A = this chain, B = another copy of it.
Amino acid sequence: MAVTPTAELATAETFDLNTWMADRLQAVEQALSHWVVEDSPAGLGRAMRYAVLDGGKRLRPLLVLAASQSADTPNTEAAMRAACAVELIHAYSLVHDDMPCMDNDVLRRGKPTVHVAYGQAQALLAGDALQALAFELLVPEGGGVPPVLGAQLCLQLAKAAGVHGMAGGQAIDLASVGLPLTQAELERMHSLKTGALLQASVLMGAACGQVPARALAELAQYGRYLGLAFQVVDDVLDVVSDTQTLGKTAGKDANQEKPTFVSLMGLNAATDYAHHLLSMARAALDRSELPQVQALHALANLVGSRTH
């Protein structure tokens, strides 16, 4: 992918997702590499870097940065810290989710999973330390993030990651294997397991600047629909894609008798549903009447067209 380090936020007329994304992805990778340090006790930092760097679509950081750009006078330092914090939470959840006592997977982002590469104990600790680091990033010393904003970001992230967010959704997921969930139950599970952190990414980005309350409510809707669409696409890809393209084990959900949108609705209806959800996300953006939502629009398109 071409990188244009000096790319400025493009105007509506010239917005180019590839340029925007290349620029932001490079900045996110640099920031993650800077903050997840290798120098650490007993090699723990190496396992943490392995879990975080050189892989991942970085959808959550891109959502944070795109949402921050939709806000007025965004704090770019805070936005980059929030972008990396949500990615660290996502990365730790993958490390723990892949462990033998959970999904027991050996392949992630095309590489051996962390517990395969470093052992289960180190994987457990690396995940734990990544979660702590996520919160540490949001409240730096030295004034880069005003404390009022740092505290707000911590609260948003903690709620999205915790028992009434991601962790709770994973508990439902574990308890649902082999059970005939309704679509409403499946959507609740995913709204917590992946939706909460995706929606929080949008709202944390928006919190880094000024957004009118009515527009903020629409951004929350955008995040909700986008998060659900992301999961429906994930279920479709688990069926139609192969392990090499995905970078993780394909066909896993069906093998584990996990309920999915495809098993519930069929492949065609699930694909249609994903497109419907994305159109709802775009409609929410339009209703927000925020001037700078090109990147958020483009990320919705990206979710619809992704292959892994």
Q: Which residues of A contact B (CB under 8 A)?
A: 37, 40-45, 48, 92-93, 96, 99-102, 119-122, 124-125, 127-129, 131-133, 135-136, 138-141, 145, 147-148, 150-152, 154-155, 157-159, 161-165, 167-172, 174-175, 192
Contact = CB atoms under 8 A, between A and B. Distances in A.
Contact of A151 (B92, B150, B164): B150
Please give the count of copies of this chain that the complex contains: 2
B168 A129 contact: yes
A182 to B, nearest CB: 16
Given A41-B168, A44-B171, A136-B154, 6 more contacts: A41-B164, A125-B170, A125-B174, A128-B131, A132-B161, A138-B154
A43 B133 contact: no
Contact of A40 (B43, B101, B135, B164): B164
Main secondary structure of the interface of A (DSSP, over half): helix
A170 B120 CA distance: 13
B151 A147 contact: yes
Contact of A42 (B43, B48, B135, B172): B172
A50 B304 CA distance: 42
A175 B120 CA distance: 13
A133 B147 contact: no
Contacts of A168: 40-42, 44, 129
Nearest to A163: B129
Contacts of A138: 154
B121 A174 contact: yes
A68 to B, nearest CB: 19
A150 B158 contact: no
